[in-house]
Copies of this chain bind each other. A is one copy, B any other.
Amino acid sequence: MKLYTYFRSSAAYRVRIALNLKGIAYDAVPVHLLRNGGEQLGEAYRAINPAALVPALDDGGNIFSQSLAVIEYLEETHPQTPLLPATPAERARVRALALTVAADTHPLGNLRVLKYLTGQLGVSEEVKLDWQQHWLRTGLATLESLLAGDPRTGRYSHGDTPGLADCCLVPQVFGAQRFGVDMAPYPVIMRIHAACEALPAFQQAHPSRQPDAE
């Protein structure tokens, strides 16, 4: 398999964790989001993923995009080390946790959105940072309440084995810390984050460990 990735992309980071948890070997193909006017916007990458976003997974010539769809695909094709629990109700809970990050939090701080803020809206770097922190805090507060208020939360987001929700939680914490969000109000998230960071699958997926890390 071949993963089109960018070391700091939250969505690519999710898929790297999932691949590592499942023990699937892959070749990383870096796509630099800032160089050459954004390599993801160029014709070469658009031919691979018309959405012009990373990641994209190439499995024998079939291209898959959207991190959560990619992880579900890996789950269905490589069921060993499952990333989703067994019952529909539990699976729905884990998917909702994942979507709280992937749909409600991450898209608001995406590079193209930040560019629109400073470009078309002409906001200052300070106001841009307020925006980033506001949506990070909003998303993290929701995730914290979903985790803290539910007895199904264990050592990880759901029970005592890492899964899809953790693949989303860890990159989101990385992003929040990078932009200076105070993590003290999210003790359950940080406890789970620490448990994940102790595992090689998460360590090896970290942005600082990628071939394109700067």
Contact = CB atoms under 8 A, between A and B. Distances in A.
A125 B186 CA distance: 35
Contacts of A121: 121, 123, 127, 131
Contacts of A39: none
Q: Which interface class (under 10, 10 to 19, 20 to 34, 35 or more) fits A? A: 35 or more
Nearest to A144: B50
A130 interface: yes
B102 A73 contact: no
Contacts of A65: 96
28 contacts: A50-B142, A50-B145, A51-B100, A51-B142, A51-B146, A64-B89, A65-B96, A66-B99, A68-B99, A69-B92, A69-B93, A69-B96, A69-B98, A70-B92, A73-B88, A73-B91, A73-B92, A77-B88, A99-B102, A99-B103, A103-B103, A103-B106, A103-B107, A104-B107, A107-B107, A120-B130, A121-B121, A121-B123
Given A64-B92, A102-B103, A121-B121, 18 more contacts: A50-B145, A50-B146, A66-B100, A66-B103, A68-B99, A68-B103, A69-B95, A69-B99, A70-B92, A72-B95, A73-B89, A76-B88, A76-B91, A103-B103, A103-B107, A108-B108, A116-B131, A116-B134
